[in-house]
Amino acid sequence: MTLPDMLTIDTLLAAYRAGSLRPTTVVEAVLERIEAYASKDPAVWICLPARAELLARAAELESRDQKHLPLYGIPFAVKDNIDVAGLPTTAGCPDFAYTPQTSATVVARLEEAGAIMIGKTNLDQFATGLVGMRSPYGQPHCVFDSRYVSGGSSSGSAVAVAAGLVSFSLGTDTAGSGRVPASANNIVGLKPSRGVLSTQGVVPACLSLDCVSVFATTVDEALQVEAAAMALDPQVPYSRVMQPYALPKGAFRFGVLAEADRFFDGDSENAALYAQAIQRCQAMGGTAVELDYAPLRETAELLYNGPFVAERLAAIEPFYDAHHDAMDPAVAGIIGGARRYSASDVFRAVYRQHSLRQVAAQMWEQFDVMLLPTMPRLVSKEEVRADPVGANSLHGVYTNFVNLLDMSACAVPSGFRADGLPFGVTFIAPAFADHDLGVLAGRYHALAGVGSGLAKVAVSAPAEGVGKGKVLLAVVGAHLKGLPLHYQLEQERAVLWRTTRTAGDYRLFALPGAVPPKPGMFRQPGFDGQGLEVEVYELSAAGFGRFVAQVPQPMAIGRITLEDGQEVSGFLCAEAQARKGQDITDFGGWKAWLKADKA
């Protein structure tokens, strides 16, 4: 099978399931693509594992049951301020480099889901910048025109997806770094709500604001990656669980810039494309409402033009003091500028930030989402060389405020200028609206008809029922009705669909030391048992995502086959972990064993 121009998750999974493609074949093809694309842009990657290591990972996956791995064989890239075990983390600064022994939580969770980490991508040094030009490892460029920047700071991650080198990638987003590069390269950039993806193992830019972001071909696939990566992480001070938040279905109200606030730095084509985006949303059933951009603009200025820059210094202060001469001059100047602010200045800025949050919260009474240009216009490399700070600031006009005001955002392609450069818009909503916001943005992306990535591959609207439909989840242990963790299903208004049994080749073990007590279930091909009793619940897609985020190790959510052959999502446990406990398979289910154990 010849690989498609864009390595979409759905296409690869379908080919794997049909037996027409293997992960080792994909890895070989991806490495060939990376080598070929390097002749066009040699600055996308900072570090790639050895070919043999990648092929060994792919071969190991081929020995496993792909039914239980939602991202089986899917190649992805990681921004090089995110740890991958055994590979150097540079944050775009060679003198800072270190080699971690463990991967960042998000990387570990994606690999547990079956994804293949292909390599570490270039970035603006210490994730400080929105242009992709502040790196000693070279400057990636826009996939459509080498004279223009790729956008930053997640420059290489965006290009790797847009050029069809990987299926998805991880970036980070503090001030717009997960959205600006998406717009510059005609792909999707999902900025999750702060804290729902762990930042453990991520070199901080501003720890209180940082988000791990996702670049993908479609919004559906970005949301799929987010769901697999989500986890409450007690190691991270700002980690939190996704909370219920629903946007209206059907008709909706969307905030737009007033004519006086539509700043495009003289670019009339982008101004026209934004007006066209508003009309497109109206055709989707939306009602445009002018928003007051003044408090958002003031919030944005706090990030770089105020004491909040001190948090960037706090992240790397010992290194900065010893090695600032080795840093990119623009980055060193920004971070070093924090020294002019006092602790009192910082607290005053925090007070103002919270006041502005109150103002922003009232905005959501006027409309459900915002529709903004992702940036006024894409700058050229020549402009950045002439005015590094000014050109960079231009990219952040419509992005910097989002994390300071605790909002979720999703950037999607929207159109092309006559010169072939892309234009994108960003949908913004309150925190925890990630899923419903993504569904809306995905509908828009399909309607825009501009495709995705360099190949401009066609994008379909979200499947019927996504966002409105349901997910079936089988529970086998402490989430059963009447047991200690059932409340988590009640919180999501889960509805009992039926009580049934698994196929006969599942085993059940009581996990040692689990609090509350819980079992571990795994599939053992060839085992001929009676099946295990499970309760199958119906949840909303958004509720399912929130529920999955609470699942602790060694548990995982995968695909489970029921006695009638139907496949649903359900709890699974690594066999090695489960076998440390007591084999209770013969009891036929957790409740039966609890009853016998107490007798």
Mind listing the pLDDT tens digit for each residue in 563-591?
877 888 999 998 988 999 999 999 999 99
Q: Which token pair is 545?
A: 């995502």
Last residue of a domain, one of 429, 463, 497: 463
- pLDDT for res 462: 62
Read off the pLDDT band of 540 (50, 70, 90): confident
**Domain co-membership, 484 together with 458:** no
Task: Using the predicted structure, report yes or no on whether residue 379 has a pLDDT greater than 70.
Answer: yes
- pLDDT for res 467: 37
Q: How many other CB atoms are found less than 10 A from the CB of residue 257?
A: 20
Strand 168-173 to strand 506-510: parallel, antiparallel, or no bridges (unpaired)? unpaired
In this prediction, residues 189-218 reach a mean pLDDT of: 96
**Domain co-membership, 455 together with 586:** no
The residue from 103, 135, 155, 177 that is catalytic is 177
Q: Does residue 368 sit in helix, strand or coil? A: coil
In this structure, what CATH number is given to the domain that contains residue 489? 3.10.490.10
79 catalytic residue (yes or no): yes
- pLDDT for res 547: 87
Task: Using the predicted structure, report yes or no on whether residue 322 has a pLDDT greater than 70.
Answer: yes
Task: Using the predicted structure, report yes or no on whether residue 466 has a pLDDT greater than 90.
Answer: no
**Domain co-membership, 526 together with 573:** yes
Whether the Cβ atoms of residue 149 and residue 379 lie closer than 8 Å to each other: yes
**Domain co-membership, 419 together with 478:** no
Q: Which of 257, 288, 227, 252 is nearest to 540 (CA)?
A: 227
Q: Which token pair is 379?
A: 């700058």
Task: Map tokens 């939580």 to a residue.
Answer: 105
Task: Map tokens 């847009």 to a residue.
Answer: 162
- pLDDT for res 599: 62
**Domain co-membership, 498 together with 456:** no
What is the spatial order of strands in the sheet that 519-523 belongs to? 519-523, 506-510, 582-583
Read off the pLDDT band of 73 (50, 70, 90): very high
Task: Using the predicted structure, report yes or no on whether residue 469 has a pLDDT greater than 60.
Answer: no
**Domain co-membership, 277 together with 376:** yes
67 catalytic residue (yes or no): no
In this prediction, residues 323-335 reach a mean pLDDT of: 91
In this prediction, residues 135-144 reach a mean pLDDT of: 98
The C-alpha atoms of residue 531 and residue 585 are separated, in whole angstroms, by 8
Q: Which token pair is 277?
A: 């985006």
The residue from 103, 135, 150, 153 that is catalytic is 153
Whether the Cβ atoms of residue 168 and residue 162 lie closer than 8 Å to each other: no
**Domain co-membership, 491 together with 452:** no
**Domain co-membership, 548 together with 569:** yes
Q: Which amino acid is at 114?
A: G
- pLDDT for res 598: 67
- pLDDT for res 468: 42
The C-alpha atoms of residue 533 and residue 595 are separated, in whole angstroms, by 14
Last residue of a domain, one of 463, 492, 518: 463
Q: Which of 85, 86, 88, 82 is nearest to 47 (CA)?
A: 88
**Domain co-membership, 244 together with 362:** yes
Task: Using the predicted structure, report yes or no on whether residue 330 has a pLDDT greater than 50.
Answer: yes
Instruction: Compute CA distances 550 → 132, 296, 436, 522, 575, whole Å.
Output: 35, 33, 19, 20, 21
**Domain co-membership, 366 together with 487:** no
**Domain co-membership, 511 together with 484:** yes
In this structure, what CATH number is given to the domain that contains residue 262? 3.90.1300.10
Q: How is the chain split among helix, strand and coil, in percent rounded to 5?
A: 40, 20, 40
Query: Please, which residues have CB within 8 angstroms of residue 154's CB and are 6 or more apart in sequence?
Result: 79, 121, 123, 127, 169, 171, 172, 173, 177, 178, 181, 213, 215
In this prediction, residues 45-59 reach a mean pLDDT of: 98
The beta strand positions in 292-353, using DSSP E, are none
Which range has the worst mean pLDDT, 135-139, 348-352, 381-385, 458-462? Answer: 458-462
Share of the chain above pLDDT 70, in %: 98
Q: Which token pair is 208?
A: 């209180």
Range of the domain at 474: 470-598
Whether the Cβ atoms of residue 149 and residue 378 lie closer than 8 Å to each other: yes
Higher pLDDT, 539 or 78: 78
177 catalytic residue (yes or no): yes
- Total structural domains within the chain: 2
Higher pLDDT, 472 or 295: 295
Higher pLDDT, 338 or 152: 152
Q: What is the DSSP secondary structure assignment for residue 126, as one 8-state letter?
A: G
The C-alpha atoms of residue 556 and residue 573 are separated, in whole angstroms, by 6
**Domain co-membership, 352 together with 492:** no
Whether the Cβ atoms of residue 533 and residue 540 lie closer than 8 Å to each other: no
Last residue of a domain, one of 463, 494, 522: 463
